[in-house]
Structure 1
Amino acid sequence: MDLQLAGKAALVTGGTKGIGRAVVEALLAEGAKVAFCARNAAEVEAAAAELGATGTALDVADGAALAAWVADTAERFGGIDVAVANVSALAIGAGEDNWKASFEVDLMHTVRLCEAALPHLTATRGSIVAISSVSGREIDFAKDAYGTMKAAVVHYVSGLAFEHAAAGVRANCVSPGNTYFPGGVWAGIEGGDPDLFATAMGLNPTGRMATAEEIAYAVMMLASPRASFITGTNLVVDGALTRGVQL
């Protein structure tokens, strides 16, 4: 099925690894023009060369830098059709530093990206997709700063969907379950805390964790103009990991 993304201009935060990189790759494969950002300059340079996308090194917690990146990209591409808020601080735990990092990166980077992109998305009747987490809808080991801010992301994006529906801008979330990729949080837990890793694997009824590419597929479906009447939703992609019923 043609996702009608060819020629569209897309922004992706955190595009050098994991879900973000998989989203960049998927968008490029559909013929979209893609700009991504990440904090590590060397990784950005390497990924940009490998992927053939436009990469920029910046800290998404820097609101001015993030807004400038959005504006520069819109000028370069002649507009913006898709904005994907992917970056997370992955600050798991209850310490005050984790709360601050989760607020500035997970929540406020999403807010700032959307605020900067919305004028351009309104002009193109574009789409926002934010990456939340199943930790935002249930009490698990990441229930504190990480889970709370991921829940806030869903609430914020749902509000955007309602506010901007009449203008034709769609806004949705994807909430992944356990997602395994080299260099990711679960790869680190596998080596550093094998008991926790084994427990997490045991909770997955599929017997495995998701791949980054599987989460990227969900992002693509929501970003596509074919999803023209899907807005304000939180798409859980967890292989039946969570047992809660969304009503």
Structure 2
Amino acid sequence: MDLGLKGKNAIVTGATRGIGRAIADLLADEGVNVSVCARKADEVAATVSALEAKGVKAFGQVVDIADAAALQGFVRASAEALGGLDILVSNASALVQGARPEDWKAMFEIDILGAVNALDAARPHLEAAAGKTGDAAVVLISSISAAEAAAPSAYGAMKAAQIHFAKGVAREGAPKGLRCNVVSPGTVFFEGGVWGNVKAAMPAFFEQMLKRNPTGRMATPEEIAAATVFLCSPRSAFTTGINMVVDGGISQRANF
């Protein structure tokens, strides 16, 4: 299936490893020019080089997502470097699981305000692109933790707030061809990631979590990327305001 993405321009935040990197790679494989940001200069440089090797334009900067001015400057610089902006993927997360005041602050600044500030800077470029082609897309990477609560959790609550925010953006943006959707992964395994570290440090708990999923395994970053890239594409042009759960069946709630 041709997703109709070739020649489009995208930003992916937190894109040098794991899910973000897989999204950036798959977008580039589809012919999309990609801009990435993260906090480590060497990883940003390596990612930009790898994306360019796929034959697309690539741009990258070191950015602290909690720094609103720096994040918005990166978005504007990306649009200039790539020649416009059709897609924004807000993937960066504080990944804090606790409920201390500092946990709430970190999740709010990165996961919520990071998405808000990136979109504020990207919106004029996205709306301009939609005006030309009829479609521009924003995708937020949330989590099934948004709807799974066993104890107070800044992570789950802020991930839930992303879904609410995205629905509002979708409703507001629809008349202008600006779509906004959410992808909510379940457990995702890659070396050096959350579950990669759990496997190394707590193998028994890791095996217990594998057994919780009916598939008997965890997702790969590439599987989350595939869902995300579809929602970024004109093939999903009538899909906006949804929360796409990609969890292998580990959650038990019905999604109406």
The TM-score bracket by the shorter chain reads over 0.9
Structure 1 47/195 Cα, relative in aligned 2: closer, same or farther at 3 Å?
same
Show the counterpart of 2:144. 134
Q: CA deviation at 1:55?
A: 1.8
Counterpart among 145, 151, 155 of residue 154 in structure 2: 145
CA distance in 2, matches of 1:133, 1:3: 25
CA distance in 2, matches of 1:25, 1:221: 14
Q: CA deviation at 1:107?
A: 1.1
AA matched with 2:98: G
The 5 A counterparts of 1:1-247 are 1-52=1-52, 53-125=58-130, 126-140=136-150, 144-247=153-256
Aligned-partner SS, 1:94: coil
Aligned-partner SS, 1:90: coil
CA distance in 2, matches of 1:102, 1:246: 25
RMSD between aligned residues: 1.2
| TM-score, length of structure 2 as denominator length | 0.93
Q: CA deviation at 1:133?
A: 0.2
AA matched with 1:54: F
Q: CA deviation at 1:112?
A: 0.8
Q: CA deviation at 1:103?
A: 0.7
Aligned-partner SS, 1:74: helix
Structure 1 4/148 Cα, relative in aligned 2: closer, same or farther at 3 Å?
same
AA matched with 2:114: H
CA distance in 2, matches of 1:206, 1:12: 29
CA distance in 2, matches of 1:45, 1:219: 23
Alpha-carbon deviations, 1:59-98, whole Å to 9, x = none? 1111001101111111122210000000111111122221
Alpha-carbon deviations, 1:159-200, whole Å to 9, x = none? 100011111100000000000011100001112223332221
CA distance in 1, matches of 2:162, 2:100: 20
AA matched with 1:191: A
AA matched with 1:220: V
Alpha-carbon deviations, 1:116-170, whole Å to 9, x = none? 11111111121000000000012157x5011000000000011100011111100
Aligned-partner SS, 2:175: coil
CA distance in 1, matches of 2:230, 2:147: 22
CA distance in 2, matches of 1:47, 1:115: 25
Report the identity percentage: 48
Q: CA deviation at 1:201?
A: 1.2
Structure 1 207/140 Cα, relative in aligned 2: closer, same or farther at 3 Å?
farther
Count, aligned residues: 246
CA distance in 1, matches of 2:230, 2:45: 28
Structure 1 segments unaligned to the other structure (5+ residues) = none
CA contact (8 A) 2:59 2:81 kept: no
